[in-house]
Amino acid sequence: MKILLLNYEFPPIGGGAGKATCNLAKELARLGHQVEVLTSRLSGQPLKEKINGFTVYRVMSWRKGIHDCGFRGAISYLFFAAFVFLRLTRKNQYDVIHYFFGLPTGFLSLLPGPHRKTPYFISLRGSDVPGYDNYNKTLQKVHRLLLPLTKKIWKDATQIVALSASLKETARKTAPSQAIKVIPNGVDSIFFRTAPSENNEKKGLKLISVARLIERKGIQNILYALAELRDPEISFLIVGTGNYEEELKKLCKELSLDNSVLFYGFCHPQKLHKLLVQNDVFILTSLAESFGMAFVEAMACGLPIIGADIGGIPDLIGKENGILVAPGDINQIKGAILKIKKSKQLRIQMSRANIEKMMEYYNWKSVTKQYIAIYQGEEDG
């Protein structure tokens, strides 16, 4: 098949959706399909590049930052991508066009041109679904304004794909009769660890979060929990950047956590696995989360998980491999940290369970087969 994937984020830009686009493209190419990707460009990146057996086309996008697109970044991507998209679809006869994010990316499906005859697929990622992020009032207003477009884009798609059962149910509130297939993200093979660490000489507990630093990720609540614990044996590494970063740093100072909390900043995706395995527990208590790519990467590295009981996270975390807490509940976060710190054996058991789960269900070979099945019309929602 000849496949065009579109996403305004692609590594190193953005988060889980970009990584998913890259890994899906790589696996499709490995299976012999002809794959092209249309995405955003950072300064210094080539406009066209062949990587991992597929072709990447990049266009200008006036983003706020590498992990922060903003409305200007999304709109500018659409504007510049439209010209390249129309050129590619007039030149090539694609069998499949696959948009990551119904909005903004899926807006390109509404443009006039020969691509209107090509089956297209939409991957819903979270923020593109009305009602997903109730903490972002601006986004809610935009969704209300663009609701007719969202419904039109979804209705005309050959298939809609959601990351989790929870996101599917949220999407169904907008389009009750819409057929929606659930396909999770896979994990890049570089994250897979064969066995948990059993180093009994290690002291203390090293926590790590990997996230876009926005208020919705709930990192501020982890800081409040650590401030109440005041345990010198617990350290916390925060990996990522975003528009809430300065607020979090300010909060650290106010809570006198400078000696136990470190802001790492941006970490290149190809180096992240090395950083994860240097820590003991992955913690991210988001206030909303459609799937959580950072969770599955940490799980593949064998880290026990402390996460929030919300969105797609319960699909990943059970008693055997982590601890779920109520979103925003400081006392439950404290309790989870203390429980996991107290028992080295519990951490080893959770680590083994995570490695086994990721290897069996969340490898990209398995995930890509599910996508190929819907491309070929073998499955529906």
The CATH number covering residue 278 comes to: 3.40.50.2000
Same domain for 167 and 205, yes or no, is no
On whether residue 67 sits in a domain, the answer given is: yes
Tell me the CA distances in angstroms from 304 to 38, 55, 57, one per residue in order: 36, 37, 38
Same domain for 135 and 275, yes or no, is no
* Cβ pair 297, 355 in contact under 8 A: no
* Cβ pair 3, 36 in contact under 8 A: yes
On whether residue 381 sits in a domain, the answer given is: no
Same domain for 97 and 228, yes or no, is no
Same domain for 170 and 31, yes or no, is yes
On whether residue 380 sits in a domain, the answer given is: no
Number of domains in the chain: 2
pLDDT of residue 201: 56
- Domain span including residue 32: 2-185+363-375
pLDDT of residue 137: 82
Same domain for 179 and 314, yes or no, is no
pLDDT of residue 85: 98
pLDDT of residue 138: 85
On whether residue 22 sits in a domain, the answer given is: yes
- Dist. CA 295–CA 107, nearest whole Å: 29
Q: Which long-range contacts (CB under 8 A, 24 or more apart) does 245-254 make?
A: 245/213, 247/215, 247/220, 248/213, 248/219, 248/220, 248/223, 251/220, 251/223, 252/223
Q: Which residues contact 274 (CB under 8 A, 6 or more apart)?
A: none
Same domain for 306 and 238, yes or no, is yes
Same domain for 71 and 205, yes or no, is no
Same domain for 160 and 227, yes or no, is no
pLDDT of residue 198: 64
* Cβ pair 95, 118 in contact under 8 A: yes
Q: Which residues contact 271 (CB under 8 A, 6 or more apart)?
A: none
pLDDT in tens, the chain (381 residues): 999 999 999 999 988 899 899 999 999 999 999 999 999 999 899 999 999 999 999 999 999 888 778 889 999 999 999 999 999 999 999 999 999 999 999 999 999 999 999 999 999 998 899 988 777 788 889 999 999 999 999 999 999 999 888 899 999 999 999 999 999 988 888 898 766 666 555 679 999 999 999 999 999 999 999 999 999 999 999 999 999 999 999 999 999 999 999 999 999 888 999 999 999 999 999 998 877 889 999 999 999 999 999 988 998 999 999 999 999 999 999 999 999 999 999 999 999 999 999 988 888 998 999 999 999 998 644
pLDDT of residue 330: 98
On whether residue 77 sits in a domain, the answer given is: yes
Same domain for 242 and 342, yes or no, is yes
Same domain for 205 and 320, yes or no, is yes
Same domain for 179 and 78, yes or no, is yes
pLDDT of residue 190: 85
- Dist. CA 214–CA 236, nearest whole Å: 17
Q: Output the DSSP codes for 253-313.
A: HHTT-TTTEEEEE---HHHHHHHHTTSSEEEE--SS-SS-HHHHHHHHTT--EEEESSTTH
On whether residue 238 sits in a domain, the answer given is: yes
On whether residue 223 sits in a domain, the answer given is: yes
On whether residue 254 sits in a domain, the answer given is: yes
- Dist. CA 185–CA 16, nearest whole Å: 8
pLDDT of residue 222: 98
- Dist. CA 240–CA 264, nearest whole Å: 7
Same domain for 173 and 240, yes or no, is no
pLDDT of residue 66: 83
pLDDT of residue 202: 64
Structure tokens given for 74: 């999304």
* Cβ pair 41, 59 in contact under 8 A: yes
pLDDT of residue 71: 87
